[in-house]
């Protein structure tokens, strides 16, 4: 489970101004009446999600990595398997993450099997299964033919 925390201030009348200057009205977050907070109160919004959702195949996304090189090499190996894909970059907390997205929904399961789920193919483990300071060992082992 991953948590992202976004900070801002309550600017009155049910509005929250986040540090990014994005303004959200309370009614966009909840159907409940906004709490009675003093103007300028600190607000922290926490969003949680499962990192492994990046591997589920939803919306064609079958892999995620912090390493552009890794995503491009995986994309090229998928092309060699005749599976069309693309690399998309998204902002993720204070860093970027690169998503491998399969173009044809019918190829999603084959791509997942090839990248991480099957006993053959790349057999990779997600980046986040290693400590923050380490590279993806499973990718490096595959890359070096081990």
Q: Are 34 and 14 in contact (CB under 8 A)?
A: yes
The per-residue pLDDT for range 28-56, each reduced to its tens digit, is 888 888 888 888 999 888 876 666 677 88
What is the pTM for the complete model shown? Answer: 0.66
pLDDT at 114: 95
pLDDT at 91: 79
Structure confidence by residue, pLDDT tens digits, 50-71: 666 778 898 999 999 989 999 9
Of 101, 108, 28, 13, nearest to 64 (Cα)?
A: 101
Q: Residue 92: which pLDDT band, with cuts at 50, 70 and 90? A: low
- Taking CB atoms within 8 Å and a gap of at least 24, the contacts of 67-71 are 67/98, 67/127, 67/135, 67/136, 67/139, 68/98, 70/98, 70/127, 70/136, 70/139, 71/98, 71/99, 71/100
Q: What is the pLDDT of residue 113?
A: 95
């Amino acid at each position: 489970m991953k948590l992202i925390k976004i900070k801002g201030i309550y600017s009155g009348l049910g509005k929250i101004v986040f540090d990014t200057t994005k303004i959200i009205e309370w009614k966009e977050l909840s159907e409940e009446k906004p709490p009675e907070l003093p103007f300028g109160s600190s607000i922290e919004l926490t969003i949680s999600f499962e990192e492994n959702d990046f591997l589920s195949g939803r919306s064609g996304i079958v892999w995620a990595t912090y390493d552009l090189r890794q995503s491009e090499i995986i994309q090229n190996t998928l092309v060699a398997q005749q599976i069309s894909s693309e690399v998309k970059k998204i902002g993720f907390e204070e860093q970027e993450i690169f998503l491998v997205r399969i173009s044809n929904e019918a190829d999603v399961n084959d791509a997942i099997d090839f990248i991480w789920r099957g006993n053959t193919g790349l057999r990779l483990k997600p980046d986040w299964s290693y400590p923050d300071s380490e590279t993806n060992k499973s990718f490096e082992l595959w890359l070096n033919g081990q």
